[in-house]
Amino acid sequence: MGSLTSLESIYLSYNQVESLPVSFGNLKNLRSLYLKNNNLKSIPDIFKTLKLSTFDLRNNPIKDIPIFLKENSKFKRVFSTKPFFSLENSKISN
């Protein structure tokens, strides 16, 4: 995955994904990541280094939302099953 550094968008919704590889941290051009309706229980810290603007986490059994998601204002759109934070100048949807 890390060799695909020019990827800007990944759609992995509805795939029963349970975890995300550390190699996602190498996708420096990734702007949109769609992970709706999977089995993710946590979000690795590797995502704090990416330049994501859209992050779709709806319908995953995520227990703890990482601090970087709560405090990072680079996200323009974050989707979750329930609102877990709010950012001024961001569109948070549930």
Question: Would you state the pLDDT for residue 81?
Answer: 64
Encoding tokens for residue 37?
């309706």
CATH topology of domain 9-93: 3.80.10
CB 24 within 8 A of CB 1: yes
Q: Tell me the average pLDDT of the chain.
A: 78
Encoding tokens for residue 67?
């601090």
pLDDT at residue 88 tops 50: no
Q: What is the DSSP letter of 22?
A: G
Encoding tokens for residue 5?
């550094």
Residues 48-82 pLDDT 10s: 788 888 888 889 998 777 777 766 656 666 666 65
CB 28 within 8 A of CB 3: no
Q: What are the domain boundaries of the chain? A: 9-93
pLDDT at residue 1 tops 90: no
Q: What is the mean pLDDT of residues 31-40?
A: 93
10, HSE (Cβ side, Cα atoms, 13 Å): 18
The set of residues, in sequence order, having a beta carbon less than 8 Å from that of 11 and lying 6+ positions away, is 34
- Whole-prediction pTM value? 0.76
Question: Would you state the pLDDT for residue 68?
Answer: 72
